[in-house]
Amino acid sequence: MANVHYVRGAMIEQLEPPAASSGAAGWVRQNLFSSPLNAILSVLSLALVYSVIAALIPWLISPTWQASSLSECREILEGASGACWGVIRERWLQLLFGFYPSELYWRVVLDFLLLIVAVAPVLFTGLPRKMLIFSALYPFLMPWLLWGGTVWGPVVAALGFGLGYLAHKLAKAALGGLAAMILAVLVPVIWWLFLAGPVSEAVASVLPLALEPVESRNFGGFMLSITIGVVAIAISLPIGIVLALGRQSNLFIVRSLSVGFIEFIRGVPLITLLFVASTLLNIFMPPGTDFDIILRVIIMVTLFASAYMAEVVRGGLAALPKGQYEAADALGLDFWLAQRLIIMPQALKISIPGIVSTFIGVFKDTTLVSIIGLLDPIGLSNSIRADQSWNGIVWELYGFIALMFFIFCFSMSRYSMFLERKLRTGHR
């Protein structure tokens, strides 16, 4: 009797999947040509993309890097159409730094490198926690590097916070929580208003340690955009959180003030606030008062961003189930502890996309300052065109500015996606 095998003793070699459904061909078939309609649409889209690229690439690759005027570009191109990159070669430093003295560029560069160092431990929790000390010092270091002047100004300003902390600590034991809170605000304010100036002058006369001062008028280009953007972003988040909490508060006055502020700022266009900063404030203040224009603009942009931030954070607070608040109360946590340990970590996590898109919006809104005569990249592009050599150049300048903005905004949005993935704890 023959030995019938109906079960295989060995595995068959695996076959390659059919060529039509694997590799590049398979991907194309699945994604681009899965049905007649899709095939038609794909062909049309590819044709469109090709025609755009075919027109753009020759324009972008243009041998005009060394040209020193638009007419020279035209001579080099001999009638062909192409970009005139000479303007970027000649003016890119101006677009980045404005009128900042060129021998002091290192201060701006150092400032933004340090900014990365200061922000890193906040963004990436894997880094040593000790770096946060530097992050706390950075807000005082940054203006000193940018504007120059005596080192004692920022040191004395920082001392104010130290004094406030000390007052809080001492008074809490002696006088109780509320009094300590009030003192912690009052002591630094008195220090800054009345004592900081004379003290810093006195110390500076003993130990003059100063950088060459640079006036705000010389700020311009991307450096101006980034300065306004970073300061507004950094300050608007804490103010926004406080406003969002204020809006939910049971205390009538606190709630009304918060609601009034938020609704007023959101009801007014940023342009109007900037005009108030540049012209109206000037008229109301006594003539001769020299209230720095960039400082005025930063304050306005910060207030504007804070109101939006407050609403974004409020959205996060509203999305938290009521049980979280009740659980915090049940544990016997006081208001601030509950916020710090339970409410805010969850609310902010929910709000990340909103917060980051507000950040990006604020950063892009800084270009509006060109309307009040500050020379940010857009304002500078007009000034550059006013040079007879470059009059008539439009796309090259706007393209360069758009590229720079894209780099900043795109990295911000990528970071937000990274943060969302990292913090996803899987409740929903």
Partner 1 sequence: MNKTVFVGVLALAGMSASVAAAGLLDEVKTRGKLNCGVNAGLVGFAAPDANGEWGGFDVAVCRAIAAAVLDDPNAIEFVPTTAKTRFTALASGEIDVLARNTTWTFTRDVDLKFEFTGVNYYDGQGFIVRKDLGVSSAKELDGATICIQTGTTTELNLADFFRINNMDYDPVPIETEAEAQQQYLAGACDSYTTDASALAANRATFEDSANHIILPEIISKEPLGPLVRHGDNEWGDVVRWTLNALIAAEELGVTSANVAELASAPGSNPEINRLLGTEGTLGEMLGLQPDWAVKAISAGGNYGEIFEKNIGEATPIGLARGLNAQWTSGGLMYAPPFR
Interface pick for partner 1 out of 252, 394, 425, 428 (rule CB under 8 A): 394
Residues 352-371 as x/- pattern, contact with partner 1 by CB under 8 A: -------------------x
For partner 1, the closer CB: 20 or 280: 280
For partner 1, the closer CB: 91 or 247: 91
Q: Min. distance of Cβ 422 from partner 1 in angstroms? A: 44
For partner 1, the closer CB: 358 or 370: 370
Residue 296 parent element (H or E): helix 293-319
How far is it, in rounded angstroms, from Cα 232 to Cα 189?
Answer: 21
Interface pick for partner 1 out of 62, 64, 67, 70 (rule CB under 8 A): 70
**Taking the CA atoms of the chain, what radius of gyration do you get in angstroms?**
29
Which span sits near partner 1 by CB under 8 A: 6-14, 165-173, 182-190, 391-399? Answer: 391-399
For partner 1, the closer CB: 172 or 385: 385
Number of residues in contact with partner 1, rule: CB under 8 A?
Answer: 38
Determine if 399 is a binding residue for partner 1 (CB under 8 A).
no
How far is it, in rounded angstroms, from Cα 161 to Cα 222?
Answer: 31
Query: Which residues, other chains included, contact 23 with Cβ-Cβ below 8 Å and sequence gap of 6+?
Result: none
Q: Min. distance of Cβ 380 from partner 1 in angstroms? A: 8
Q: Min. distance of Cβ 237 from partner 1 in angstroms? A: 31
Long-range contacts of residues 45-54, Cβ cutoff 8 Å, at least 24 apart: none
Place of tokens 């720095």: 292
Angle between helix axes 70-77 and 86-97 (nearest 10 degrees) is 150
Interface pick for partner 1 out of 99, 134, 140, 325 (rule CB under 8 A): 99
Residue 391 near residue 378 (C-beta atoms within 8 A): no
Determine if 372 is a binding residue for partner 1 (CB under 8 A).
yes
Q: Min. distance of Cβ 267 from partner 1 in angstroms? A: 18
For partner 1, the closer CB: 135 or 282: 282
How far is it, in rounded angstroms, from Cα 181 to Cα 167?
Answer: 9
Q: Min. distance of Cβ 105 from partner 1 in angstroms? A: 12
Residue 293 near residue 281 (C-beta atoms within 8 A): no
Interface pick for partner 1 out of 391, 406, 411, 417 (rule CB under 8 A): 391
Interface pick for partner 1 out of 21, 30, 102, 256 (rule CB under 8 A): 102
Subset of 217-246 contacting partner 1 (CB under 8 A): 217-218
Supply the DSSP string of 55-111, one letter for each residue: HHHHHHS-S-TT--SHHHHHHHHTT-----THHHHHHHHHHHHTT--GGGHHHHHHH
DSSP-assigned beta bridge partners for residue 4: none
Identify which of 223, 295, 220, 310 has the alpha carbon closest to the alpha carbon of residue 263: 310
Determine if 90 is a binding residue for partner 1 (CB under 8 A).
yes
Query: Which residues, other chains included, contact 86 with Cβ-Cβ below 8 Å and sequence gap of 6+?
Result: 64, 65, 66, 67, 68, 69, 72, 73
Interface pick for partner 1 out of 9, 213, 288, 332 (rule CB under 8 A): 288
Identify which of 358, 380, 356, 385 has the alpha carbon closest to the alpha carbon of residue 369: 380
C-alpha torsion 67→71→75→77, nearest 10: 70
How far is it, in rounded angstroms, from Cα 335 to Cα 94?
Answer: 50
For partner 1, the closer CB: 9 or 288: 288
Identify which of 56, 246, 212 has the alpha carbon closest to the alpha carbon of residue 144: 212
For partner 1, the closer CB: 84 or 338: 84
Determine if 66 is a binding residue for partner 1 (CB under 8 A).
no
Interface pick for partner 1 out of 94, 358, 366, 416 (rule CB under 8 A): 94
For partner 1, the closer CB: 141 or 384: 384
Which span sits near partner 1 by CB under 8 A: 46-54, 106-114, 318-326, 373-381? Answer: 373-381
The binding site for partner 1 (CB under 8 A) comprises: 70-71, 74, 90-91, 93-94, 98-99, 102, 215, 217-218, 275, 278-280, 282-283, 286-288, 371-375, 379, 382-388, 391-392, 394
